[in-house]
């Protein structure tokens, strides 16, 4: 009688989600969806923004990504942006394909969200800028490396990274 062994978790995928959440405390959740080979980012907002504000920020993010990609030499990218309201809270979702995403782009998206929704953006309260700054460069370099690795070797399992009480958790589904 043999034991059934589950699939081994992809450590590059897990480390990528952890590093993204550690580097960018404004990102509430990040998941990898193998079916569409994309990263899904979710930013939590304390209130539902006015439609004009959401549309303006969505357009700015899309234009910024396209400009960034034209500089990087990518001509096609999957960029989906939508807002989901739940009561008084809103979730700003961004879906990006793994083929063209980079650490610099993730940083740019986080900066835009912080600049435009800073007063209502729910951030990890345990991420003190002084203590995190020391690790940021190492994490950013690791993010670029892991994205490069995952572009070559696709992950088979869906993974989701979330914040819970000051910790980052990753679930392999």
Residues 127-136 have pLDDT tens digits of 555 555 557 7
169 sits in which H/E element: strand 167-172
Say what the pTM is. Answer: 0.88
Least confident of 2-6, 21-25, 82-86, 125-129: 2-6
The closest alpha carbon to 170, from 20, 4, 7, 5, belongs to: 20
Rounded-to-integer distance, Cα 23 and Cα 66, Å: 23
Helices 103-117, 11-23: crossing angle, 10 deg rounding: 30
Q: What are phi and psi of 91, to 5 degrees?
A: -120, 120
Residues 101-124 have pLDDT tens digits of 999 999 999 999 999 999 999 987
């Amino acid at each position: 009688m043999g034991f059934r062994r589950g699939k081994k978790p992809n450590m590059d995928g897990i480390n990528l989600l952890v590093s993204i959440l550690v580097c960018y405390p404004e990102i509430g959740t990040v998941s990898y969806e193998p079916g569409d080979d994309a990263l899904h980012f979710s930013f939590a907002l304390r209130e539902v923004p006015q439609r004009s504000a959401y549309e303006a920020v969505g357009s700015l993010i899309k234009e910024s990504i396209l400009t960034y990609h034209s500089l990087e030499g990518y001509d096609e990218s999957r960029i989906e942006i939508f807002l989901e309201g739940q009561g008084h809270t809103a979730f700003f979702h961004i879906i990006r394909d793994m083929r063209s995403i980079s650490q610099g782009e993730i940083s740019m998206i986080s900066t835009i969200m912080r600049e435009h929704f800073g007063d209502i953006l729910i951030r990890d309260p345990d991420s003190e800028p002084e203590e995190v700054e020391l690790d940021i460069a190492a994490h950013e370099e690791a993010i670029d490396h892991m994205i490069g690795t995952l572009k070559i070797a696709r992950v088979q399992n869906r993974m989701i990274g979330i914040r819970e009480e000051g910790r980052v958790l990753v679930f392999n589904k």
